[in-house]
Amino acid sequence: MSKPRFEDFFELFGLPRAFRIDDGVLAARYRELAAQVHPDRFAHLGEADRRAAVSYASDVNEAYRTLGSTLARAQYLLHLAGQDAALESNTAMDTSFLMEQMEWREAVSEARAAQDVDELDHLRLRLHDRMDLGLDQLGDEIDDQRDYAAAADSVRRLMFLDKLGREIDAALEQLDT
Amino acid sequence: MALLQIAEPGMSTAPHQHRLAVGIDLGTTNSLVATVRNGVPVVLLDEQGRALLPSVVRYAADGKIEVGQTAQAVQARDARNTIVSVKRFMGRGLRDVAHVETMPYDFVASDGMVRLRTVQGVKSPVEISAEILKVLKSRAEASLGGEMAGVVITVPAYFDDAQRQATKDAATLAGLNVYRLLNEPTAAAIAYGLDNAAEGVYAVYDLGGGTFDFSILRLSRGVFEVLATSGDAQLGGDDFDQRVYCWMLDHARISLPSLEDSRRMLAKAREIKESLTYRDEANMLLQLTNRDRIDLMLTREELAGMTRHLVAKTMQPVKKALRDASLKREDVKGVVMVGGATRMPHVQHAVAEFFGMEPLNNLDPDKVVALGAAIQANVLAGNRKTDEDWLLLDVIPLSLGLETMGGLVERVIPRNSTIPAARAQEFTTYKDGQTAMSFHVVQGERELVSDCRSLARFELRGIPPMVAGAARIRVTFQVDADGLLAVSAREQSSGVEAKIEVKPSYGLGQDEIARMLRDGFDHASDDLQARALSEQRVEAGRLIDATEVALAADGDLLSDAERAAVDATVSRLRDLAQGADHCAIKAGVEELNRATTEFAARRMDKSVRQALAGRSVDSLKV
C-alpha cells in the first residue's frame, strides 16, 4: 500500500494530459518533486520513510523519463487512451512507408560502406527534419484530432526513424575513432 | 504567558540534535575519514597526527590484525599476509584481477569473489576492507567523542553493483550505518562547493597512487549527473617513483641492488619527486648497504622530462570520456584535481594546457574526496538546514538486464538512468504446468550475456500450474540511491508472491555476512551481545524520534484509530528499549516500521501535493 496515489504521470507533474507540453515547466517540476522525495532527505529517518522515498523517487524518475522523451510520451498517452501501440507485433505499415524505409536503409549503408562522414552527417540532418515533421503530425493527431489509431501508426514510423538515427550516430562514432 | 511554538510544516519540532556523521574515502592506496565541525569540513587525524591511513591490512601469526602504517612497515617481510590495495579485489572474481601471477598472495580458487588465504585463515576482500573501516570508525569516535549516527563512503563512479554491494557489506561488518555510497568525483565536486554555485560541465582528474580516473559531471541547479567516466587502472603516482628509481640506477651505475637497497632507493625516489613540487632542484644522498654512496642532483625539468610520457598517457582516457559524453574540451568549465600525484607541477600544466584553463587545486588533493563525503554525510544526518534547491542525483553507470533465450540480454534499466529507479518486465512460462522459472541478472552494455557481468541468479518457485504462456510473471528491478539492485517477482494473474532466492555471483550471501559478524566476536561473545544491544537501542531511539517528529507535523493524516495504533507501537518500543533483550528491541523496531509504512506514504504524498500546489498557480495562468 505504499504506492503513491496519483492518476498518471501528468497529474504527478501537475501538467495537462497532452502531447504538447512545456519542456521548461516539466524540468522545473521534476526538480521540485525530485528534491522533495529523494531518499537523501530521509537517510536519517526510519525504514518506513526511507522505503517510501525510494519508491516515490523511482516513480518520479520514471515519470520524468517517460514524459521527457517525445516518443515515450506519445506511447504513454496512447496507453492511457487504451490504444495498444503493439509495437512489436503490429508491423502492418503502408507500402509508401516501407519504400521509404528501404531507401533510408540503403542510403545509410552505402554511406557507411564508403566511410563518407559528410554524407552520414547530411543523412542525420535530413532524418531529424523528417522526425520533426512526424512529431508535429503526432501532436495534431493526439491533441487535436484525438485519432489514436493514426497516432499509433505515426509512433511506429517515428520509432523506426529513431532507431535509424542511432545507427547513424554509431557509424559516425566508429569513423571518428 | 508562555508562547506556543508552532513548527513550520516539515520541520523538526524536536530540539535540534546534532548527529555524529562522517565521510570516508576508502581508497586503493590510502583511506581517510572526515567530518563537519562547526560548519567546516575537516579530516580527522590519528593519535600521531596523521590524516592518511595506508589501505594495508596485515594478519599476523599471533592473531593480531594490523592496519595502516604498522602493516605497511612489515609488508616486505610478510607479503603473503599483508594485503595492499584490497579495493582492487572488491566484488571481483579471480579472473578479473590483473597481474594475479605477480602478486604475493595465496589466492583461493573459487567461483565468486576472490578469497585470500592468510595465516589467520581464508579472508574475503569484504572482511579485509572492514578492518580498514573499523580503524577509521574508532578514530572518528575517539575524535568526536560519541557513537556514529551514519557515514557516507565513497566509491569510484564506474563501480558496478557487485563492487558497491561489497563496499556496503564491509561497512556492515565494521558496524557502520551507511547513509549513502557516493561517487568519488561527485564528492570532489561537493568539496569544491560546485553544488551550490556552479552550472555547467565539470571534470574530475584523479591521479592516485596506482590508478587514474577521469569523470565528467554535469551540474545544473544543484543536480549532479555523472556523464562519463574512464581511466587507467594501471597508472598512478607509483609509476613516477619507478621512473625516478630507474634514473637513479642509471646515473649511480648500479645494476643489481639488493632488496633492501632497492626499497630504500624507491623511498628516496618518492621523497625527491615530492620535494620537486616545491623546489626547482633536489639533492639525493643515500648510503647503500655495501657502503656505496649515491650523490645525485635532479631538477624539476628533468623529472618532468622523464615522466612526460606518463602524463601524456592520462590524456587518452580524458579524450575518451569527452567522446563518450559527446563533448568538446571547450565545454568543460572547470577541472577538479584529485589524488596526491596531481601536485606535480607538470601534471597541473598538462591539464591546464589541454583544457585551456588553470585547474581547481586549492584543496589538498589527498583529502578532497573525504571532505566532500563529510559534507554530504552532514547533510544526510539532517544537521544542515536543507534549502529547497538541494539535490544530488546520480545515475547508474552500467545497464541492468536479464538473460533471455539464446544468451541474449534484455535490458531492464538502461545505463545513465537516474537513481533511484524501478522498472518491471513481464515474463511468461513456456511449458504447460511450469511452476518454477530461473533468472540470470547481468550488468553491462553488450548484447550477449557472455560479454556482460553476471550479478546474480535467482529462482522463482510456487507459480500455480497453468497452460504455457498463461502465467504473467512480473519481475521488478529496484535500484536505490546507492546504485544497489533489489529484485522481486510476483505472478500477476493469481497474485502469488513467488519466493525468490538471489545468489550473488561475486558477492556474499546474507547468511555469510551474518556468519562473518559472528566470527568477528567469537572470542568475546559478551561483546557481541553488548554491541547488538547498543545498536538496537540507537536504532530504536532514532526511529521513535523520527516518528514523533512526523506525528507532530502530520498527525492529522491519520484517523484516531490509526493514530492510537501507532502511539501504542511507539510506547511498546520505548518499553522494550529499556530492557536488555536486543532481539525483542529489533522486533519492536520492525513492528514500528510496519505500523508507519502507510503513514510514511501518506506524508510523502502530502509533501508532493504541497510542492505542486505551491507552483501550479503560475502554470494555470499560462
Best probe of the A interface among B612, B617, B622, by most A CBs < 10 A, is B612
Whether residues B392 and A40 touch (CB distance < 8 A) is answered with yes
Tell me how many residue pairs between chain A and chain B have CB atoms under 8 A apart: 144
Q: Choose between B305 and B227: higher pLDDT.
A: B305
Active site residue B273: no
Is the pLDDT at B615 greater than 80? The verdict is: no
- In chain B, residues with a C-beta closer than 8 Å to the C-beta of A34 are 223, 391, 393
- Are B248 and B296 in contact by the 8 Å Cβ rule? The answer is yes
The Cα–Cα gap between B477 and B475 comes to 7
Whether residues B601 and A52 touch (CB distance < 8 A) is answered with yes
Kindly indicate the confidence band of residue B135, based on its pLDDT and cuts at 50, 70 and 90: very high
Distant-in-sequence, close-in-space partners of A151: CB < 8 Å, separation ≥ 6: A74, A77, A78, A83, A138, A141, A142
Is the pLDDT at B520 greater than 80? The verdict is: no
Q: Which residues of B367-401 are buried (b: 16+ CB within 10 A; e: fewer)?
A: bbbbbbbbbbbbbbbbbeeeeeebbbbbbbbbbbb
The Cα–Cα gap between B261 and B16 comes to 58
- The active-site residue out of B161, B169, B184, B239 is B184
The Cα–Cα gap between B30 and B35 comes to 17
Active site residue B239: no
Q: Which amino acid is at B93?
A: G
Across the range B202-222, mean pLDDT stands at 88
Q: Give the nearest chain A residue to B594 (CA atoms).
A: A48
Across the range A8-36, mean pLDDT stands at 90
- Residue B420 is nearest to which of A32, A48, A54, comparing CB atoms? A54
For residue B494, what is its C-alpha cell?
493469481
Which tens digit of pLDDT belongs to each residue from B8-18? 444 443 445 67
The Cα–Cα gap between B354 and B330 comes to 10
Q: Choose between B279 and B428: higher pLDDT.
A: B279
Whether residues A44 and B611 touch (CB distance < 8 A) is answered with no
Active site residue B403: no
- Are B188 and A83 in contact by the 8 Å Cβ rule? The answer is no
Q: How far is B187 from chain A (nearest CA, A)?
A: 14
For residue B601, what is its C-alpha cell?
506514504
Residues in chain A: 177
Whether residues B596 and A46 touch (CB distance < 8 A) is answered with yes
Whether residues A12 and B608 touch (CB distance < 8 A) is answered with yes
User: In B213-258, which ranges are continuous DSSP H helix?
Assistant: 237-251
Q: Give the nearest chain B residue to A176 (CA atoms).
A: B323
Q: Choose between A143 and B101: higher pLDDT.
A: A143
Taking the CA atoms of chain A, what radius of gyration do you get in angstroms? 20
For residue B474, what is its C-alpha cell?
512480473
Q: Which residues pair with B421 in a beta bridge?
A: B479
Phi and psi at residue A173, in whole multiples of 5°?
Answer: -65, -40
Which of B121-135, B182-196, B352-366 has the least mean pLDDT?
A: B182-196
The Cα–Cα gap between B411 and B402 comes to 7
Burial class for B49, CB neighbours closer than 10 Å (0-12, 13-18, 19+) = exposed
Distant-in-sequence, close-in-space partners of B162: CB < 8 Å, separation ≥ 6: B91, B92, B113, B453, B455, B504, B505, B506, B507
Best probe of the A interface among B391, B395, B413, by most A CBs < 10 A, is B391
Whether residues B612 and A29 touch (CB distance < 8 A) is answered with yes
The Cα–Cα gap between B280 and B302 comes to 10
pTM for this model (two decimals):
0.83
Maximum alpha-carbon separation in chain B: 90
Whether the predicted interface score ipTM is above 0.85: no
The Cα–Cα gap between B136 and B175 comes to 12
Check residue B414 and give its pLDDT. Answer: 87
Best probe of the A interface among B178, B327, B597, by most A CBs < 10 A, is B597
Active site residue B87: yes
Whether residues A14 and B619 touch (CB distance < 8 A) is answered with yes
Check residue A174 and give its pLDDT. Answer: 76
- Residue A52 is nearest to which of B388, B421, B604, comparing CB atoms? B604
Average pLDDT, chain A: 86
Whether residues A48 and B417 touch (CB distance < 8 A) is answered with no
Whether residues B180 and A43 touch (CB distance < 8 A) is answered with yes
Q: Which amino acid is at B513?
A: I
Q: Choose between B410 and B34: higher pLDDT.
A: B34
Q: How far is A52 from chain B (nearest CA, A)?
A: 6
Residues in chain B: 622
For residue B426, what is its C-alpha cell?
513481464
The Cα–Cα gap between B95 and A124 comes to 42
Q: How far is A96 from chain B (nearest CA, A)?
A: 32
Best probe of the B interface among A22, A59, A61, by most B CBs < 10 A, is A61
Kindly indicate the confidence band of residue B531, based on its pLDDT and cuts at 50, 70 and 90: confident
Q: Which amino acid is at B172?
A: T
Is the pLDDT at B452 greater than 60? The verdict is: yes
Check residue B500 and give its pLDDT. Answer: 63
> In the sheet that B421-427 helps form, which strands lie side by side, from edge to edge?
B421-427, B473-479, B485-491
Q: How far is A41 from chain B (nearest CA, A)?
A: 7
Q: How far is A28 from chain B (nearest CA, A)?
A: 10
- Are B491 and B531 in contact by the 8 Å Cβ rule? The answer is no
- Are B443 and B160 in contact by the 8 Å Cβ rule? The answer is yes
Whether residues B179 and A173 touch (CB distance < 8 A) is answered with no
- Residue B420 is nearest to which of A28, A47, A57, comparing CB atoms? A57
Q: Which amino acid is at B239?
A: D
* Other Cβ atoms within 10 Å of B160 Cβ, number: 22
- In chain A, residues with a C-beta closer than 8 Å to the C-beta of B604 are 4, 37, 49, 52-53, 56
Most confidently modeled range among A102-111, A162-171, B102-111, B130-139: B130-139
Q: Which amino acid is at A49?
A: D
The Cα–Cα gap between A91 and A93 comes to 6
Check residue B501 and give its pLDDT. Answer: 60
Check residue B521 and give its pLDDT. Answer: 59
Kindly indicate the confidence band of residue A1, based on its pLDDT and cuts at 50, 70 and 90: very low
- In chain B, residues with a C-beta closer than 8 Å to the C-beta of A15 are 619
Whether residues B622 and A35 touch (CB distance < 8 A) is answered with no
Across the range B592-607, mean pLDDT stands at 89
- Are B231 and B242 in contact by the 8 Å Cβ rule? The answer is no
The Cα–Cα gap between B116 and B302 comes to 41
* Residue B123 three-state SS: strand
Is the pLDDT at B525 greater than 70? The verdict is: no
Check residue B166 and give its pLDDT. Answer: 94
Q: In Å, how far from its chain's centre is CA B493? A: 40
Q: What are the structural domains, with CATH classification, of chain A?
A: 9-68 (1.10.287.110), 95-176 (1.20.1280.20)
Check residue B522 and give its pLDDT. Answer: 55
For residue B524, what is its C-alpha cell?
568475546
Best probe of the A interface among B608, B615, B621, by most A CBs < 10 A, is B608
Kindly indicate the confidence band of residue B621, based on its pLDDT and cuts at 50, 70 and 90: very low
Which of A166-170, B135-139, B141-145, B574-578 has the least mean pLDDT?
A: A166-170
Across the range A100-116, mean pLDDT stands at 90
Check residue A119 and give its pLDDT. Answer: 92
- The active-site residue out of B206, B241, B403, B482 is B206
Cα dihedral: B443, B448, B449, B451 (round 10): -70
Q: Give the nearest chain A residue to B150 (CA atoms).
A: A44
First to last CA, chain A: 51
Q: Which amino acid is at B94?
A: L
HEC string for B20-82: CEEEEEECCCEEEEEEEECCEEEECCCCCCCCCEECEEEECCCCCEEECHHHHHCCCCCHHHE
- Residue A43 is nearest to which of B150, B420, B550, comparing CB atoms? B150
- In chain A, residues with a C-beta closer than 8 Å to the C-beta of B19 are 44
Q: How far is B386 from chain A (nearest CA, A)?
A: 9
Is the pLDDT at A5 greater than 70? The verdict is: no
Whether residues B380 and A36 touch (CB distance < 8 A) is answered with no
Whether residues A14 and B601 touch (CB distance < 8 A) is answered with no
Q: Which residues pair with B422 in a beta bridge?
A: B478
* Other Cβ atoms within 10 Å of B88 Cβ, number: 18
Residue with cell 544526510: B380
Angle at B486 between CA A11 and CA B408, to 5 degrees: 95
HSE-up (13 A, CA, CB side) for residue B464: 12
DSSP string computed for B518-585: HHHTTT-HHHHHHHHHHHHHHHHHHHHHHHHHHHHHHGGGS-HHHHHHHHHHHHHHHHHHHSS-HHHH
Check residue B10 and give its pLDDT. Answer: 42
Q: Give the nearest chain B residue to A49 (CA atoms).
A: B600
- Are A53 and A37 in contact by the 8 Å Cβ rule? The answer is yes
The Cα–Cα gap between B272 and B266 comes to 10
Residue B54 preceded by cis peptide, ω within 30: no
Return the H-helix or E-strand segment holding A3. none
- The active-site residue out of B25, B195, B213, B491 is B25
Whether residues A43 and B381 touch (CB distance < 8 A) is answered with yes
DSSP code for A142: I
Distant-in-sequence, close-in-space partners of B222: CB < 8 Å, separation ≥ 6: B195, B196, B389, B390, B391, B392
Q: How far is B596 from chain A (nearest CA, A)?
A: 6
CA B167, B169, B172, B173 torsion-angle sign? negative
Burial class for B325, CB neighbours closer than 10 Å (0-12, 13-18, 19+) = buried
Whether residues A46 and B542 touch (CB distance < 8 A) is answered with yes
The Cα–Cα gap between B100 and B94 comes to 8
Across the range B113-129, mean pLDDT stands at 95
Average pLDDT, chain B: 86
Q: How far is B241 from chain A (nearest CA, A)?
A: 33
* Other Cβ atoms within 10 Å of B102 Cβ, number: 6
Is the pLDDT at B4 greater than 60? The verdict is: no
Q: Give the nearest chain B residue to A6 (CA atoms).
A: B605
Kindly indicate the confidence band of residue B367, based on its pLDDT and cuts at 50, 70 and 90: very high
* Residue B353 three-state SS: helix
- In chain A, residues with a C-beta closer than 8 Å to the C-beta of B619 are 14-15, 22, 25
